[in-house]
Amino acid sequence: MTAQVKFRDLTLGYDRHPAVHHLDGTIMRGALVAVVGPNGAGKSTLFKGIVGVLTPFSGKIDLCGLRTRDIAYLPQQADMDRSFPISVYDMVAMGLWRQAGMFAGIGRKERARIETAIAAVGLTGFEQRPIGTLSGGQMQRALFARLLLQDARLIVLDEPFNAIDAKTAADLVDLVGRWHAEQRTVLAALHDFDVVRANFPEALLLAREPVAWGAAADVLTPENLLRARRMCEAFDEEAGECRVDAA
């Protein structure tokens, strides 16, 4: 197997305050990896480092030849401005920017791809709806349609199934499985351990430092989850807000 992402003694953070410490490891090409851990464990920080939003304090992230256009990133919905006056169709079409250019025209071929992506996430008929009128689940479907158009080799999803209805979550899990079958590399930050156990072969448990990394069943043990909670509490002055449920 070929490596896709390598971490070498990686430390990331904000304003000189580390949020991920001394991470070593390799993600193989075509892997499907859940990144789990308490709130504040560094999951989002790690993803921002992978996609180039954050520069490491020390160590290295090696993307093994990937270019920016080869990576698709879905941040948490809370980080997105839904007040921007744009339709579902136009937002999904933004997935073509890296391939066609921001100012390139959309021809018949591109329109067909956009319509296919919208249909694939179950939003046919919503094309002209402003994104500000969508429910949380509908918005997430539209964002996944945009990811489909990016045709990326590495897909990074930060809490993709959070605060959406069960039907939407199930449909989007199926899309993630489709990407995995296509040998794309998929990383997803998740809180639902049942979803991880059922759908993700590999898991990385973070609590600012790596706690365990390997087969999901071996990572999500009560012992590892308790250790992650205690590590989180040791880092967090507000320890009472830091929780990992041993589900």
Q: Is the pLDDT confidence value at 1 over 90?
A: no
pLDDT tens string 40-75: 899 999 999 999 999 999 999 999 999 888 999 999
Q: What was the pLDDT predicted at 99?
A: 65
Residue 244 vs residues 32, 74, 150, 227: alpha-carbon distances, Å: 22, 23, 34, 10
Counted domains in the chain: 2
Both 214 and 232 in one domain: the answer is: yes
Enter the tokens of residue 31.
């892997």
Distance CA 141, CA 143 (A): 5
Is 175 domain-assigned? Answer: no
Domain residues for 128? Answer: 70-152
Both 211 and 158 in one domain: the answer is: yes
Both 157 and 235 in one domain: the answer is: yes
Helix (H, G, I), strand (E, B) or coil at 75: coil
pLDDT tens string 125-173: 999 999 999 999 999 999 999 999 999 999 999 999 998 999 999 999 9
Is 193 domain-assigned? Answer: yes
Q: What is the mean pLDDT of residues 10-18?
A: 91
Model-wide pTM > 0.75: yes
Both 206 and 244 in one domain: the answer is: yes
Helix (H, G, I), strand (E, B) or coil at 223: helix
